[in-house]
């Protein structure tokens, strides 16, 4: 079953008279439990594609269906609810709320969804942190965590609501190779354990073998990589 179904998506940015075509007739389908690596040079449109898939940005043309919900014409309010309920994000830079502990950074997802933050939510947060190797870090503030630990908390946050689709924007770019590989391995393990689909943006070809499939993007155009690494 398809979790993410983007068809003929175009995104044109206008700044003054200039037009930038960030995505050009991009069509991409991702199945349940499938991990897709999106590989491309800087400025090729990777973040733009991720933003459209995650309901952060409306496409200029084309349609986007996630988890069976067509979000193409959603207004800002419905997109907010969609992001809260259906997707998980791990962003390139800021991922944690600095005044919340690691555990609270997970619980905030429940809170935003109107949850009561009760025992069940706390137990779930602890189990998830445990799974990510952060059992002893739950009450640490983000500033007291290493880069890799922070990235793992962000992964936990993205998974907390059991989304069908998790979007990663360069999750390893700030980490050294060894740590990066560990994080990728962790991502793969967690996705497979939950049968969750993932799109992982990277420009590092050494990371692509953790994916089931590699999609390349150049100047806003997608080309599928026939041979999975």
Partner 1 sequence: MFLAWHEMRRSKLRFGLLTGAVGLLVFLILFQQALLGGLITQFIGAVRNQSADVLVFNDQARKNIEGSIILPEQAAAVAAVEGVAVASPLGESTFTVQADGSETDAVVFGYVLGGPGAPTTLSAGRLPTADGEAVASEKDEADGFGIGDTVTVLGPGGTLDLTVVGVARDLNYSVSPTMFTSFDTFAAAKRVRNGLAEGTAVLPSVLAVQVADGADAEAVVERIAAAVGGVEPLTRQQAVDGSPGVSSVRTSFGVILGLFYLVVPLVTGLFFLIVTFQKASALTLLRAIGARARTLVVALLVQVVLVMALGSLVAFGLYAGALQGVKNLGVRVEVMPVVVTSLVVLALALVTSLVAVRRVLRIDPLDATTGAGVHL
Site for ligand ATP, rule CB under 6 A? 13, 15, 20, 22, 40, 42-48, 203
Contact by Cβ (8 Å): 204, 10: no
Residue 98 contacts partner 1 per CB under 8 A: yes
Whichever of 117 and 228 has its CB closer to partner 1, that residue is 117
The correct pick among 43, 68, 117, 147 for binding partner 1 (CB under 8 A) is 117
Beta strands, E only, 16-67 = 18-31, 35-39, 61-66
Among residue numbers 3 through 42, which ones bind partner 1 (CB under 8 A)?
Answer: none
Choose among Mg ion, ligand ATP, partner 1, none what residue 22 binds, the Cβ cut-off being 5 to 8 Å by kind.
ligand ATP
Choose among ligand ATP, Mg ion, partner 1, none what residue 71 binds, the Cβ cut-off being 5 to 8 Å by kind.
none
Whichever of 22 and 106 has its CB closer to ligand ATP, that residue is 22
* Count of residues that interact with partner 1, criterion CB under 8 A: 34
Residue 57 contacts partner 1 per CB under 8 A: yes
CB atoms within 10 A of CB 142: 19
CA distances from 181 to 52, 186, 187, 209 (A): 27, 8, 10, 10
Choose among Mg ion, ligand ATP, partner 1, none what residue 15 binds, the Cβ cut-off being 5 to 8 Å by kind.
ligand ATP
Whichever of 47 and 151 has its CB closer to Mg ion, that residue is 47
User: Given the DSSP bridges, would you call strands 35-39 and 213-218 parallel, antiparallel or unpaired?
Assistant: parallel
CA distances from 76 to 1, 15, 136 (A): 27, 22, 38
Measured distance between the N- and C-terminal CA atoms of the chain, rounded to whole angstroms: 23
Whichever of 15 and 178 has its CB closer to ligand ATP, that residue is 15
Contact by Cβ (8 Å): 208, 39: yes
Closest CA to 152 of 162, 165, 138: 138
Among residue numbers 13 through 52, which ones bind Mg ion (CB under 5 A)?
Answer: 47
Query: Phi-psi bin for 55: left (phi > 0), alpha (psi -120 to 50), beta?
Result: left
Residue 84 contacts partner 1 per CB under 8 A: yes
Residue 148's H or E segment, with its range, is helix 147-159
The correct pick among 19, 20, 27, 97 for binding partner 1 (CB under 8 A) is 97
In the complex, the smallest distance separating the C-beta of residue 56 from partner 1, rounded to whole angstroms, is: 5
Where do contacts with partner 1 occur on this chain (CB under 8 A)? 47, 50-51, 56-57, 77, 80-85, 89, 91-100, 104, 107-109, 111-113, 117, 141, 157, 169
């Amino acid at each position: 079953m398809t979790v993410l179904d983007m068809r003929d998506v175009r995104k044109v940015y206008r700044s003054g008279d200039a037009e930038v075509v960030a995505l050009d007739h991009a069509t991409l389908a991702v199945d349940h439990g499938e991990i897709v690596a999106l590989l491309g040079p800087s400025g090729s449109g990777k973040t733009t594609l991720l933003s459209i898939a995650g309901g952060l940005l409306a496409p200029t043309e084309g349609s986007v269906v996630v988890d069976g919900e067509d979000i193409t014409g959603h207004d800002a309010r419905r997109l907010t609810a969609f992001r809260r309920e259906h997707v998980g994000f791990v962003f390139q830079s800021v991922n944690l709320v600095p005044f919340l502990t690691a555990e609270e950074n997970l619980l905030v997802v429940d809170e935003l969804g109107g949850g009561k933050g009760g025992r069940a939510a706390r137990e779930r947060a602890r189990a998830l942190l445990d799974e990510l190797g952060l059992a002893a870090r739950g009450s640490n503030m983000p500033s007291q965590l290493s880069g890799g630990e922070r990235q793992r908390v962000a992964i936990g946050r993205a998974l907390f609501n059991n989304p069908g689709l998790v979007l990663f924007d360069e999750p390893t770019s700030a980490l050294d190779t060894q740590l990066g590989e560990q994080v990728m391995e962790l991502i793969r393990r967690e996705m497979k354990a939950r049968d969750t689909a993932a799109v992982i943006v990277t420009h590092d070809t050494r990371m692509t073998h953790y994916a089931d499939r590699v999609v390349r993007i150049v100047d806003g155009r997608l080309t599928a990589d026939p041979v999975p690494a």
